[in-house]
Protein backbone atom coordinates (compact mmCIF):
# COMPACT_ATOMS: atom_id res chain seq x y z
CA UNK A 1 0.00 0.00 0.00
CA UNK A 2 2.79 2.43 0.90
CA UNK A 3 4.61 1.76 -2.40
CA UNK A 4 1.40 2.46 -4.32
CA UNK A 5 0.93 5.78 -2.47
CA UNK A 6 4.51 6.81 -3.21
CA UNK A 7 4.08 5.98 -6.90
CA UNK A 8 0.79 7.92 -7.04
CA UNK A 9 2.42 10.92 -5.34
CA UNK A 10 5.32 10.91 -7.82
CA UNK A 11 2.88 10.84 -10.73
CA UNK A 12 0.92 13.78 -9.35
CA UNK A 13 4.06 15.84 -8.91
CA UNK A 14 5.19 15.03 -12.45
CA UNK A 15 1.76 15.80 -13.87
CA UNK A 16 1.49 19.25 -12.32
CA UNK A 17 5.11 20.37 -12.09
CA UNK A 18 6.92 18.23 -14.65
CA UNK A 19 9.98 16.00 -14.51
CA UNK A 20 11.14 13.71 -11.74
CA UNK A 21 10.09 15.09 -8.36
CA UNK A 22 9.05 18.37 -9.90
CA UNK A 23 12.18 19.10 -11.95
CA UNK A 24 12.01 19.27 -15.73
CA UNK A 25 13.92 16.24 -16.93
CA UNK A 26 16.25 16.00 -19.90
CA UNK A 27 14.88 13.91 -22.75
CA UNK A 28 15.56 10.19 -22.76
CA UNK A 29 18.52 9.16 -24.87
CA UNK A 30 17.84 6.68 -27.65
CA UNK A 31 20.28 3.78 -27.84
CA UNK A 32 20.11 1.33 -30.74
CA UNK A 33 21.44 -2.11 -29.80
CA UNK A 34 21.93 -5.06 -32.09
CA UNK A 35 20.25 -8.41 -31.48
CA UNK A 36 19.80 -8.19 -27.68
CA UNK A 37 19.27 -5.82 -24.77
CA UNK A 38 22.14 -5.23 -22.34
CA UNK A 39 21.98 -7.17 -19.08
CA UNK A 40 21.07 -4.07 -17.11
CA UNK A 41 19.21 -1.04 -18.41
CA UNK A 42 19.97 2.57 -17.54
CA UNK A 43 17.24 4.98 -16.43
CA UNK A 44 16.20 7.65 -18.93
CA UNK A 45 17.41 5.63 -21.91
CA UNK A 46 15.09 3.99 -24.42
CA UNK A 47 16.73 0.99 -26.02
CA UNK A 48 15.82 0.00 -29.58
CA UNK A 49 16.69 -3.56 -30.56
CA UNK A 50 17.58 -3.92 -34.24
CA UNK A 51 18.24 -7.26 -35.90
CA UNK A 52 18.87 -7.87 -39.60
CA UNK A 53 17.87 -4.28 -40.36
CA UNK A 54 14.48 -4.55 -38.61
CA UNK A 55 13.48 -2.69 -35.46
CA UNK A 56 12.14 -5.46 -33.21
CA UNK A 57 11.44 -3.90 -29.84
CA UNK A 58 11.86 -0.85 -27.66
CA UNK A 59 12.63 -1.28 -23.97
CA UNK A 60 13.05 1.04 -21.01
CA UNK A 61 12.89 1.08 -17.25
CA UNK A 62 9.43 2.10 -16.10
CA UNK A 63 9.52 5.88 -15.54
CA UNK A 64 7.45 5.63 -12.33
CA UNK A 65 10.51 4.36 -10.48
CA UNK A 66 9.33 0.78 -9.89
CA UNK A 67 12.39 -0.40 -11.91
CA UNK A 68 10.41 -2.89 -14.02
CA UNK A 69 11.49 -3.27 -17.64
CA UNK A 70 8.88 -2.26 -20.20
CA UNK A 71 9.07 -4.05 -23.56
CA UNK A 72 7.25 -2.58 -26.56
CA UNK A 73 7.01 -4.74 -29.69
CA UNK A 74 7.87 -2.90 -32.92
CA UNK A 75 7.15 -5.76 -35.35
CA UNK A 76 3.86 -5.00 -37.16
CA UNK A 77 2.88 -8.69 -37.51
CA UNK A 78 2.71 -9.19 -33.71
CA UNK A 79 0.26 -7.65 -31.26
CA UNK A 80 0.32 -5.41 -29.36
CA UNK A 81 2.53 -3.27 -31.57
CA UNK A 82 4.01 0.21 -31.23
CA UNK A 83 5.36 2.50 -33.90
CA UNK A 84 8.71 4.14 -33.18
CA UNK A 85 9.76 7.41 -34.77
CA UNK A 86 13.40 8.47 -34.41
CA UNK A 87 13.96 12.24 -34.60
CA UNK A 88 16.99 14.15 -35.90
CA UNK A 89 17.77 15.44 -32.40
CA UNK A 90 18.38 11.86 -31.19
CA UNK A 91 15.05 11.47 -29.38
CA UNK A 92 12.28 9.01 -30.14
CA UNK A 93 8.47 8.88 -30.06
CA UNK A 94 6.29 5.82 -29.45
CA UNK A 95 2.72 5.40 -30.64
CA UNK A 96 0.30 4.52 -29.07
CA UNK A 97 0.65 5.24 -25.35
CA UNK A 98 2.36 2.79 -22.99
CA UNK A 99 0.04 1.40 -20.32
CA UNK A 100 1.18 -1.13 -17.75
CA UNK A 101 -2.14 -2.55 -16.63
CA UNK A 102 -0.70 -4.54 -13.72
CA UNK A 103 1.67 -3.75 -10.85
CA UNK A 104 2.38 0.01 -10.93
CA UNK A 105 -0.28 0.80 -13.56
CA UNK A 106 1.88 3.41 -15.30
CA UNK A 107 0.18 5.00 -18.30
CA UNK A 108 2.03 7.56 -20.38
CA UNK A 109 2.82 8.91 -23.82
CA UNK A 110 6.44 8.89 -24.93
CA UNK A 111 6.97 11.93 -27.17
CA UNK A 112 10.37 13.17 -28.39
CA UNK A 113 12.12 11.53 -25.46
CA UNK A 114 9.73 12.91 -22.84
CA UNK A 115 7.31 10.98 -20.65
CA UNK A 116 3.89 12.62 -20.64
CA UNK A 117 1.75 11.03 -17.93
CA UNK A 118 -1.90 10.24 -18.60
CA UNK A 119 -4.07 11.54 -15.80
CA UNK A 120 -7.07 9.33 -16.65
CA UNK A 121 -8.47 6.97 -19.28
CA UNK A 122 -9.70 9.88 -21.41
CA UNK A 123 -6.04 10.80 -22.06
CA UNK A 124 -5.47 7.50 -23.86
CA UNK A 125 -7.23 8.84 -26.94
CA UNK A 126 -4.80 11.74 -27.41
CA UNK A 127 -2.69 11.43 -30.56
pLDDT tens-digit profile of 79-98?
A: 999 999 999 999 999 999 99
pLDDT at site 37: 95
Report how far apart, in Å, the C-alpha atoms of 106 and of each of 63, 66, 90 are: 8, 10, 24
Domain coordinates in residue numbering, the chain: 25-125
Checking if the pLDDT of 126 tops 50, the result is no
Report how far apart, in Å, the C-alpha atoms of 72 and of each of 2, 17, 43, 55, 59 are: 28, 27, 16, 11, 6
* % of residues, the chain, pLDDT over 70: 75
pLDDT at site 48: 97
* pTM tops 0.85, yes or no: no
CA triple 86-111-28, angle to 5 deg = 75
DSSP 39-80: SSPPTTEEEEEEETTEEEEEEEE-TTTT-PEEEEE--TTSSS
Q: What are phi and psi of 56, to 5 degrees?
A: -100, -45
Amino acid sequence: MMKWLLTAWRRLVRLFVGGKYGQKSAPYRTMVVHEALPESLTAEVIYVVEEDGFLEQAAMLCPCGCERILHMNLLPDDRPCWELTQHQDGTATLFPSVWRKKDCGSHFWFRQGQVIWCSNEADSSIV
